[in-house]
């Protein structure tokens, strides 16, 4: 098989696409669906920028064949805001200056979203463990941890 | 049409191991097996692998297991993720060293996507899991159409990213002997940052024989084309009490062992790596002694 008809629920919307088996999830999201918030950094699974949620779990979209996640729910950074209302984590990132160039931000946000779902009041170390492997080359790590801490406190 | 990083290939999702074996047989060397996909997709991106067919194991439910009865071997199916080992209560309780080792690997995402068997089949000499599992005497269960064989993990790799797997073969599971009450294992590694690839690693298994060292296995990773055992150091320790001076001498023998021939690369130079073999062997053995004393105290 070289092409498969796939159904994905992307950011809450069901999408049916004819997908080549060699297409990466990041490629389908960026090219076929125009979701430019999916950022590919290293392309080798080292930097975490391309992270998306598959059935709620952070997964590296640059290292996933799109056809292997057919039938699943996929959330990209575009799916975090509710209309024009930003997600509390996004608000907190802005508030704390937790982004400079913004390239790592979608991955940071989505991995943090998952963390707060399973651990609503994380310690700084919990946040660092969850975000290990998400590289910020502007090296703004402290502010990112601050932002996630504040978002968690705000939700309590 | 959009640009795609990977070349075209036929894609198969067999539902049973037998089906996968048949596909493997018909495609031979043209086929690549995919479990989590992390290393396969990387090697396809670089062009190191150009399979005509990718055979995904992801739909074979019978490979998604961790069978952990303390009295018996720990059996890890080909689809068990590194994360699932880390999260398994039984593994945490009886094979804690594997949990500690799993946490040395990449990010949460990598551990969630990557499988234990996939990590071993990738065949990198820097594999954290392979280093400790070789020390623990793990064995690979290899299947092909109509046949099954067992290969000690120690003999599984013949070079970097080269394994003994023949055309049509795949690994169904890895088996790890039970530690029981008398064996103690330790894993220590050095890496630039926690999620980075290991620069040097040491896995140790010691069987406590009336307060002295019974059987002992010391595996060293990332210092040769394959993970190696430092047998001179092992021989020195056998039958001895693990005193600080004995440990020091064993560590020195490990560093000087001819099998330890590290390379210089972007992460470290060969001299440093060699030096660190001594330091890490010493740390791992000291940790084992602490664990033995801890167990004795209970």
Question: Is residue B176 over pLDDT 70?
Answer: yes
Question: Is residue B156 over pLDDT 60?
Answer: yes
User: Looking at residue A78, what is its pLDDT?
Assistant: 97
User: Looking at residue B194, what is its pLDDT?
Assistant: 76
CATH 1.20.1730.10 fits B183-297, yes or no: no
Q: What is the pLDDT of residues B196-215, one digit of tens each?
A: 889 999 999 999 998 899 99
CA A17 to CA A6: how far, in whole Å? 5
Q: How confident is the model at residue A135 (pLDDT cuts 50, 70, 90)?
A: very high
Beta bridge partners of A59: A52
| Cβ(B264)–Cβ(B270) below 8 Å | yes
- How many other C-beta atoms lie within 10 A of the C-beta of residue B197? 17
Beta bridge partners of B55: B12, B33
Q: Residue window 83-112, chain A: list those with CB within 8 Å of chain B.
A: 111
* Inter-chain residue contact B109 with A111, CB threshold 8 Å: yes
Q: What is the pLDDT of residues B125-142, one digit of tens each?
A: 999 999 999 999 999 999
User: Looking at residue B271, what is its pLDDT?
Assistant: 95
Share of chain B above pLDDT 90, in %: 91
Taking the model in full, what pTM does it have? 0.95
Q: Considering only CB atoms, which chain B residues are within 8 Å of A65?
A: 11, 34, 37, 41, 54, 56
Q: How confident is the model at residue A57 (pLDDT cuts 50, 70, 90)?
A: very high
User: Looking at residue B193, what is its pLDDT?
Assistant: 80
Beta bridge partners of B220: B202, B228
In terms of Cα–Cα distance, which of B106, B121, B148, B146 is closest to B32?
A: B121
Q: How many CA atoms lie within 13 A of A74 on its CB side?
A: 30
Q: How confident is the model at residue B80 (pLDDT cuts 50, 70, 90)?
A: very high
User: Looking at residue B42, what is its pLDDT?
Assistant: 96
Using CB atoms within 10 A of its CB, is residue B142 exposed (0-12), middle (13-18) or buried (19+)?
Answer: buried
Contacts of residue B134, defined as CB under 8 A and 6 or more positions apart, other chains included, come to B153, B154, B203, B217, B219, B227, B229
CA A26 to CA B283: how far, in whole Å? 42
Q: Which of B9, B58, B109 is closest, CB to CB, to A60? A: B109
Q: Considering only CB atoms, which chain A residues are within 8 Å of B7?
A: 22
User: Looking at residue A44, what is its pLDDT?
Assistant: 92
Domain B62-176 sits in CATH at: 3.30.465.10
CA distances from B248 to B206, B209, B237, B256, B258 (A): 16, 20, 11, 13, 18
Q: How confident is the model at residue B273 (pLDDT cuts 50, 70, 90)?
A: very high
The nearest CA of chain B is from the CA of A143 a distance in Å of: 20
User: Looking at residue B192, what is its pLDDT?
Assistant: 86
Q: How many CA atoms lie within 13 A of B111 on its CB side?
A: 26
Question: Is residue A11 over pLDDT 60?
Answer: yes
Question: Is residue A156 over pLDDT 60?
Answer: no
Domain residue spans of chain B:
10-55, 62-176, 183-297
Q: Considering only CB atoms, which chain B residues are within 8 Å of A21?
A: 8-11, 54
ipTM confidence score: 0.93
Q: Which fold has domain B10-55?
A: 3.30.43
Per the structure block, which two tokens stand in for A22? 């060699």
Q: Residue window 166-225, chain B: list those with CB within 8 Å of chain A.
A: 194-195
**Any chain B CB within 8 A of the CB of A68?**
yes
User: Looking at residue B295, what is its pLDDT?
Assistant: 80
Question: Is residue B27 over pLDDT 80?
Answer: yes
| Full strand arrangement of the beta sheet holding B198-209 | B183-191, B198-209, B212-221, B228-229
What is the residue whose two structure tokens read 């103690």?
A: B184
């Amino acid at each position: 098989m070289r092409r498969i008809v796939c159904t994905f629920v992307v950011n809450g919307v069901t999408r049916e696409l004819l997908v080549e088996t060699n297409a990466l999830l990041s490629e389908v999201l960026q090219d076929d669906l125009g979701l430019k918030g999916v950022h590919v950094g290293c392309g080798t699974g080292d930097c975490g920028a391309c992270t998306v949620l598959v059935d709620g779990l952070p997964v590296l979209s640059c290292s996933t064949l799109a056809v292997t996640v057919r039938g699943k729910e996929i959330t990209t950074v575009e799916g975090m805001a509710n209309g024009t209302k930003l997600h509390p984590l996004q608000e907190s990132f802005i508030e704390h200056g937790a982004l400079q160039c913004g390239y790592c931000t979608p991955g940071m946000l989505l991995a943090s979203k998952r963390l707060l779902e399973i651990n609503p009041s994380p310690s700084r170390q919990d946040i660092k463990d969850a975000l290990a492997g998400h590289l910020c080359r502007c090296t703004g790590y402290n502010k990112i941890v601050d932002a996630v801490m504040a978002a968690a406190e705000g939700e309590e | 049409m959009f640009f795609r990083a990977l070349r075209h290939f036929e894609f198969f999702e067999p539902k049973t191991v037998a089906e996968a074996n048949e596909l493997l047989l018909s495609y031979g060397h043209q086929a690549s097996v995919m479990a989590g996909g992390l290393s396969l997709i990387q090697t396809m991106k670089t062009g190191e692998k150009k399979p005509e067919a990718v055979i995904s194991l992801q739909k074979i439910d019978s490979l998604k297991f961790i069978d952990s009865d303390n009295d018996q071997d720990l059996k890890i199916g080909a689809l068990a993720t590194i994360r699932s080992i880390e999260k398994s209560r039984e593994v945490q309780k009886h094979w804690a060293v594997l949990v500690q080792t799993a946490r040395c690997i990449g990010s949460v995402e990598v551990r969630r996507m990557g499988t234990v068997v996939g990590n071993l089949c990738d065949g990198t000499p820097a594999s954290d899991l392979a280093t400790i599992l070789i020390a623990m005497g793990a064995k690979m269960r290899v299947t092909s159409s109509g046949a099954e064989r067992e290969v000690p993990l120690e003999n599984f790799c013949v070079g970097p990213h080269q394994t003994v797997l023949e055309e049509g073969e795949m690994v169904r599971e890895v088996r790890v002997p039970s530690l029981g009450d008398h064996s103690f294992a330790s894993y220590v590694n050095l890496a630039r940052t926690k999620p980075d690839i290991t620069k040097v690693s040491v896995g140790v298994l010691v069987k406590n024989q009336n307060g002295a060292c019974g059987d002992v296995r010391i595996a060293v990773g990332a210092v040769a084309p394959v993970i190696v055992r430092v047998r001179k150091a092992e021989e020195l320790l056998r039958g001895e009490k693990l005193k600080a001076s004995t440990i020091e001498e064993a560590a020195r023998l490990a560093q000087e062992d001819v099998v330890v021939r590290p390379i210089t690369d972007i992460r470290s130079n060969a001299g440093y790596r060699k030096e660190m073999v001594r330091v890490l062997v010493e740390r791992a053995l000291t940790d084992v002694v602490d664990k033995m004393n801890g167990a004795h105290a209970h």
